[in-house]
Structure 1
Amino acid sequence: MPDVIVRKTVIFTEEVRHEYGPPPEVPPLRGAILSVIENPFAGGYAEDIQPFMEDLKPLGVEMAERLAATLGGADAIEGYGKGAIVGEAGEVEHGALWHAPGGYAMREALGGARAIVPSTKKVGGQGARLDVPVTHREASYVRSHFDAIEVGLPDAPRAGEMVVVLVMTTGPRVHARAGGLAVSDIEGKDGLR
């Protein structure tokens, strides 16, 4: 497979002070890292695309480590998600190649998190936006951490590119009060509860 060619990487963070309610003692952080890469399959159909997942692994690890560090380190991270926007000369299946490299990289960077890393993908042009889902890193049923982070770049993806995305949070939604499994009740057995 060809090398992964990165045109640029963007990291952004948000500090959430409140949403009408009282400010929390420690405002949760939300962040995303986006890498714009060349899509080696753009412009045609390739039957065997799976080997590119292996090529994407080092990029996934680098992105996960950089984002975790930006948000205060691996121990600070409570929620995560991943996604991809494929340029117009590609297909949605090319974005699916990010599932394993992005997900396993975050689990590794965070010390073996158990929950499945939620994901989304789509084909879109320059400036396309993507809502990347977020769940708790240890238990997918922790409702306070169900969230999404909207991402996109004004100049990407170009037709022959993909934007691969990782997102992380340092806590629940700022005023989470919709019930469900509490963080303090996580059993840590199966990534669900």
Structure 2
Amino acid sequence: MDYIVRMIAKDAPIKAMAIQGREMVQRAREIHHTFPVATAALGRTLMAASMMGQQIKEKDGSVTIRINGGGPLGSILAVSDSDGNVRGYVQNGQIDVPLKGPAKLDVGWAVGTAGSLTVIKDLRMKEPYVGTIPLVSGEIAEDITAYFAESEQIPTACALGVLVEKDLSVAAAGGYLIQLLPGASDADIDKIEAG
């Protein structure tokens, strides 16, 4: 079963959330008949959107992540409501690319870095908030980290991963967001980076 866990540190201005999303990513793979690198890229984007959707306080709000990196996968789109329910699409899901290393999918190359990541937050106001940044790596987690730093000025650590089996099924999928709240010190940042 998929789930999201949210946390706030007791003695530091830090909040975090983690997602276990294997079933969601497997279902997306089945719907779109994706090959491994597309499954990984779409899965990472879906999980990021789901966590970001749960951060919205407005009941009818939504978050849309659109990635256009210029790579062979084409564009990736994911939309989440405020409960973290998400749906998405990858333009060229049947792309097969060489591995980056032993059993290592080259998501960054398949997504590309010659484009942008756009986040649209519909907070049920007159106009939605739209933030766009150039892609950093195409690996998606690093791009989400850069989005939060550049567009929302929130120091963030993000990790997203999808493990695809030889039979194309999803063995595991998960990730996390760790964010500093106002008032965080350099010592708090050092603690997070030290792990």
Q: TM-score, normalised by structure 1?
A: 0.38
Structure 2 length-normalised TM: 0.37
